[in-house]
Amino acid sequence: MSIAAEVRPMVLAGTWYQGQPQRLAAAVDAYLAHAKTSQTDGKVIGLIAPHAGHRYSGWVAGHAFAAARNLTPRLVAVIGPMHHPYPYPLITSAHAFYQTPLGSLPVARHLLDDLSARLKDQLGFGLTPIANDPEHALEIQLPFLQRALAEPFLFIPIMLRQQDADTAQILGQTLAQTLAGQNCLLVASTDLSHFYNQPRAEKLDRALLQAAEAFDPAALFDLERRGLAEACGLGALATMFWAAKALGGEQVKILNYATSGSTSGDYERVVGYGAGVVLQGH
């Protein structure tokens, strides 16, 4: 593999977020500074963050990443949906590095290989590495991690096409086995309801965030089946919860909620955004 091919090309720079390094750093720092400091008693082991363009969801995402400010995880696993129609249930990157205007992040290939082997034993399939993917759900989180965390880290990219409860539970618990004993941070990348009017969106999102705060991944799927809540990364969120539980997570705190209407002014077709944190200890 050539040097150029080792780096995943940036898809979102200059459109979904600022493409110039100094402007991107300043924008992300502003989102982090805007977030009110929350009392998060306990060790932060997981984050919930939205994945729209920064101008729409950055103010909400800032609350999640502000809770992780100055942490020093050696490993960061970002788990999100794969919005594009790849014919694989679970996907990772074939590249050795992800890149943003703020620098490159090495992919923890040895841990992905370990996770994939464990998954094959459990599910009959593992993680399929793909190159040059256009997925935004992971890349959009990286500038926040690069500005909030105090030290460089190894990146574990995981994308789900198959977001059912059984797959999410096995993936989460197996990920926890791979990460056991290591200094890691988990990030679930998801938006909430899509394209309802503001009152309907708030009702759906309130139900999902209440289930999230109850730290009940199974309840997320029950709400979805009953048409009472939705999220494009529901399986990713549940995966993170199951992994966090297995790694000692004890409580979830929702830190902020808004919709795209706050930025766009269109309250007839909104997307919901939530930020939260998973804590070990009370």
pLDDT in tens, 215-244: 999 999 999 999 999 999 999 999 999 999
Give yes or no for residue 112 having a pLDDT over 60: yes
**What pLDDT does residue 281 have?**
80
Q: What is the pLDDT of residue 37?
A: 62
User: Is residue 278 a contact partner of residue 247, using CB atoms and an 8 Å limit?
Assistant: no
The residues, any chain, with a CB within 8 Å of residue 122's CB and separated by 6 or more, are 170, 174
Contacts with 38 (C-beta within 8 Å, 6 or more apart), sequence order: 63, 66, 67, 253, 255, 277
> What's the pTM?
0.96
Whether pLDDT at 2 is above 50: no
Percent of the chain with pLDDT over 70: 97
Domain ranges of the chain: 3-153+167-280
| Region of residue 200 (left: phi > 0; alpha: psi -120 to 50; beta: else) | alpha
Instruction: Quote the CA–CA distance of 227 and 245 in Å, as a whole number.
Output: 26
Q: Which two tokens stand for residue 134?
A: 């256009």
Q: Count CA atoms closer than 13 A to 260's CA, side-chain side.
A: 21
What are the tokens at 152? 């460089």
> What value does the mean pLDDT of the chain take?
96
Give mean pLDDT, residues 15-41.
Answer: 90
What pLDDT is recorded for position 186?
A: 99
Indicate the CATH number for domain 3-153+167-280. 3.40.830.10
Judge whether residue 199 has pLDDT over 70.
Answer: yes
Q: What SS3 class is residue 248?
A: coil
